[in-house]
Chains A and B, each alone.
Chain A
């Protein structure tokens, strides 16, 4: 599948998920809405990263697991790290977790995001003099 087809598919998925989110919001179906929101965020990363499917899929899986955990524990008064367990999953999980995507971006930057040879070729050909 070439890059164009790949982005066509991801944008198609963004359309379907955004539509699902709008519909879910009218029926107070907040869990499907939440999963759709996570899907949109992760599809955005997939559109930008292009070829890095596994880390993006892993991020989505972690989002869904954390959301499920929050639903599971939301009535539990047990404290984790000084917070009720479900809130702890939000504060210690959902809040910092996307830094993983930022870390991946930094790690693959010289090889996948902006390789030096491609950047140099681009600048040689297109940079404004």
Chain B
């Protein structure tokens, strides 16, 4: 990433970090129990939940990788961000009410808690917790690395110093204030992201000479680039639509927000509001890549050495410093809000879910151990990002796919279909992890890739769905423990 020398940009980013720190101090006084730490004491109103959900889902990839992918592959990339509208609708319709009402009947602080309530026994909880830990490590590593890269560019410091500054602020507000600090930071960060996206969309159209001019230029360059499937082709684009549409229901940093809602009635407008807010943020994703590519074609901009430079170069060269400063703060916001959610979920899996599955009880002083686990996870992921960059990139690739394939069948289908069984839950999670890891590794070492650009995560999700349903059907003749009355009621209301 190029390095900025603008004092305005530096001031915006420093002001943003100070705000995050202040929210952490505020939340520290309000976090007194594990329930406060993991689900904000079920205290969120619908507006906070809406913006916090969007902010935690829109990660650094949306602000850097997304525009870069548009610059490289054209419209193909939009099939990653456009499914959010159907993804939010599906999540609210299939999961919102069920998860939130389940949390009324017993102590549900995490997704493995929900799985244990639905299926009983220790294995479904353990399988879900392991899937979460594996996914979190990959996702967290990439977010940590991204924090470092942005701060190196803005503050002109070395990578270790950048990590100490960025992760220091993140560690403070996550360890001290738990998810309460996280969601109110998400609220603040989400507002910054929306403002940044709207401003960038305006400047991108201005710099590119208007949407029609951009389209005409890109059509002359390569009709496939600006065509509906982009240069990656229809199957790749459609498999992204499937993965990111269905897979939204499997993103723990999004769907755990249902457990934090104060009142189940607050679900009503959430899908619509979150979808619209996310669309605003996607404008940045869409516009920068197209405008930059058109400017390169019109020789208004030299070609980029790396597609991921599309967003930072555009901001530094084609927007006023104040706008660039707000967007850089928005970029940090996108990264840190996602990282905070993953830290919280990872800590919960390590401190609560795995001990509950193995020993039948969570440790005493759960809040204290959760803070320790959060700190340890952050340090490990920082070391991981510094010294194992290749592995981080590999694990980051299958973060979304791992979550989607492991979580969608047992929760989204399982909470709406009474014939789903515990063995099917465990089998689908195991198969999803195995398929994802195996295919990603085979592709990485060029041994085998799925044909025609089919996405690995999408394939794993489809296979996981098939296994979940088939194993449930196969087990319907066997005796399974009856559903607890309150879980049955949650599924019937």
Q: Do A and B bind each other?
A: yes
Q: Is the CB of B85 within 8 A of A8?
A: no
Chain B minimum-CB-distance residue to A77: B219
Interface centre among B86, B268, B416, B454 (most CB of A within 10 A): B86
B399 to chain A, nearest CB (A): 21
Contacts A15-B469, A25-B454 given; indicate if A90 touches B82 (C-beta within 8 A).
Answer: yes
List residues 308-335 of chain B with CB under 8 A from any CB of chain A. none
Q: In the complex the two chains form, is A37's CB within 8 Å of B241's CB?
A: yes
Could you say which residues of chain A place their CB within 8 Å of the CB of B210?
82
Q: Which of A25, A31, A96: most chain B CB closer than 10 A? A: A25
How many contacts A-B (CB < 8 Å)? Answer: 196
A1 → chain B closest CB, angstroms? 15
Interface string of A85-98 (1 = CB under 8 A from B): 01101110011111
In the complex, the answer to whether A4 meets B418 with C-beta atoms within 8 Å is yes
A53 CB to closest chain B CB (Å) equals 14
Chain A residues whose CB sits within 8 angstroms of the CB of B105 once the complex forms: 126-128
Contact B226–A84 (Cβ < 8 Å): yes
Inter-chain contact B489/A126, CB cutoff 8 Å? yes
Which residue of the partner chain, among B82, B226, B233, B272, contacts A94 with CB atoms under 8 Å?
Answer: B82
Chain A contacts of B395 at CB under 8 A?
A: none
* B93 lies within 8 A of chain A by Cβ: yes
B195 interface residue per 8 A CB criterion? no
- CB contacts under 8 Å to B, within A1-58, are 3-4, 7-8, 11, 14-15, 18-19, 21-22, 25-26, 28, 30-31, 33-34, 37, 40-41, 44-45, 47-49
B226 to A: closest C-beta gap in Å: 6
Return A37 CB to nearest CB of chain B, in Å. 4
In the complex, are the beta carbons of A79 and B85 less than 8 A apart? Answer: no
Known: A77-B219, A83-B215, A128-B104. A102 touches B275 (CB 8 A): yes
Contact sample, A vs B, 29 pairs, CB 8 Å cutoff: A4-B418, A11-B469, A18-B465, A19-B466, A22-B459, A31-B234, A33-B235, A34-B234, A37-B242, A40-B242, A47-B94, A70-B228, A75-B223, A77-B219, A77-B223, A82-B210, A82-B212, A82-B214, A86-B227, A89-B228, A90-B75, A98-B88, A99-B89, A101-B86, A101-B271, A109-B268, A110-B268, A126-B489, A128-B105
B contact set with A: CB distance below 8 Å: 75, 78, 82, 85-86, 88-90, 92-94, 97, 101, 104-107, 210-212, 214-216, 219, 223, 226-229, 233-235, 238-239, 241-242, 245-246, 249, 264-265, 267-269, 271-272, 275-276, 279, 286, 412-413, 416-419, 450-452, 454, 459, 462-463, 465-466, 469-470, 485-486, 489-490, 492-493
